[in-house]
C-alpha cells in the first residue's frame, strides 16, 4: 500500500502542464499593479465637516454675543426714579444689609396677630414705625441731594435697625399681653 514518494512525484510532474514562457513577466506586472495601485476616486466629505464646524461656531457666537439690553430697561423707568441713589445701589454689601433688614421687618410684620384686644398697642407701634419709614425716605432723599457720605449711610442703617427693634419689642409685648405671667396677674 505504501508508495514511494519519488515515484508519485515523477508521475505528477509528467502530467502537469508546463508554465508559459511569459508567466514570470505577467506575475511581476500583476504584483507591480497591486503594490502601486492608484488611489481610488472616493468622494471626500471633509469640506462638509469644516462647514458644519463653522456653522456651529457662528451660531454659538450669535447666541452669546453681548447685546445692549440694559438701555431699553432704563428707558422704561420713570424719570423721577432713574438717577435715584438708595442704600442698596451704593455697594453690594450695603444692598445685602438693606435687604436683610427689610426682609426681616416684613417677616416680623407678617407674624404679628391683630386682635381687638391688642389693637391699641398695635396701632401705637405701627405709628412709630410709620414715622421711621418717613424718616428713612427723607434720608434717602438727602442721600440723593447731598451725595454719599458716612453719616447718612449710618443713619439709614440705624433707622432700619430701630424699626426692627421696635417690631421685636412689640412682638414681645404682644406675647406678654397674650400670655400674662404670674407677676403681671398679681400687679393687676
Helices (H), 37-181: 46-64, 70-76, 79-82, 87-90, 92-111, 119-146, 150-178
Q: What is the mean pLDDT of residues 126-132?
A: 86
The verdict on pTM exceeding 0.75 is: no
pLDDT tens by residue, 160-174: 888 888 888 888 887
Instruction: Report whether 104 contacts 141 (CB < 8 A).
Output: no
Nearest Cα neighbor of 174 from 112, 123, 130 is 112
- pLDDT for position 70: 46
- Report how far residue 169's alpha carbon sits from residue 106's, in angstroms, rounded to the nearest whole number: 15
pLDDT tens by residue, 2-50: 778 877 777 765 555 666 778 888 888 888 888 876 666 667 778 888 8
- pLDDT for position 185: 54
DSSP reduced 3-state for 52: helix
* Separation of CA 92 from chain center: 18
Q: How many CB atoms are closer than 10 A to CB 145? A: 8
- pLDDT for position 75: 45
pLDDT tens by residue, 56-100: 888 888 888 776 554 444 444 444 444 567 767 777 787 888 888
Answer left, alpha or beta for residue 147, where phi above 0 means left and psi between -120 and 50 means alpha. Answer: left
Spell out the residues 6+ positions from residue 52 whose beta carbon is closer than 8 angstroms to its own. none
- Report how far residue 164's alpha carbon sits from residue 107's, in angstroms, rounded to the nearest whole number: 10
Question: 130 pLDDT exceeds 80?
Answer: yes
Amino acid at each position: 500500500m505504501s508508495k514511494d514518494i519519488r515515484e508519485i512525484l515523477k508521475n505528477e510532474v509528467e502530467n502537469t502542464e508546463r508554465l508559459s514562457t511569459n508567466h514570470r513577466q505577467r506575475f511581476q506586472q500583476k504584483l507591480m499593479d497591486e503594490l502601486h495601485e492608484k488611489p481610488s476616486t472616493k468622494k471626500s466629505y471633509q469640506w462638509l465637516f469644516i462647514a458644519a464646524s463653522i456653522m456651529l461656531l457662528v451660531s454659538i457666537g450669535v447666541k452669546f454675543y453681548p447685546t445692549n439690553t440694559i438701555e431699553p430697561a432704563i428707558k422704561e423707568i420713570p424719570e423721577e426714579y432713574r438717577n435715584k441713589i438708595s442704600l442698596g445701589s451704593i455697594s453690594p454689601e450695603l444692598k445685602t444689609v438693606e435687604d436683610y433688614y427689610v426682609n426681616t421687618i416684613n417677616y416680623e410684620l407678617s407674624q404679628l396677630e391683630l386682635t381687638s384686644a391688642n389693637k391699641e398697642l398695635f396701632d401705637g407701634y405701627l405709628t412709630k414705625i410709620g414715622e421711621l419709614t418717613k424718616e428713612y425716605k427723607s434720608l434717602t432723599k438727602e442721600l440723593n441731594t447731598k451725595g454719599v457720605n458716612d453719616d447718612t449711610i449710618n443713619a439709614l442703617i440705624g433707622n432700619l435697625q430701630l424699626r426692627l427693634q421696635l417690631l421685636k419689642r412689640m412682638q414681645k409685648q404682644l406675647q406678654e399681653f397674650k400670655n400674662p405671667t404670674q407677676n403681671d396677674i398679681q400687679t393687676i
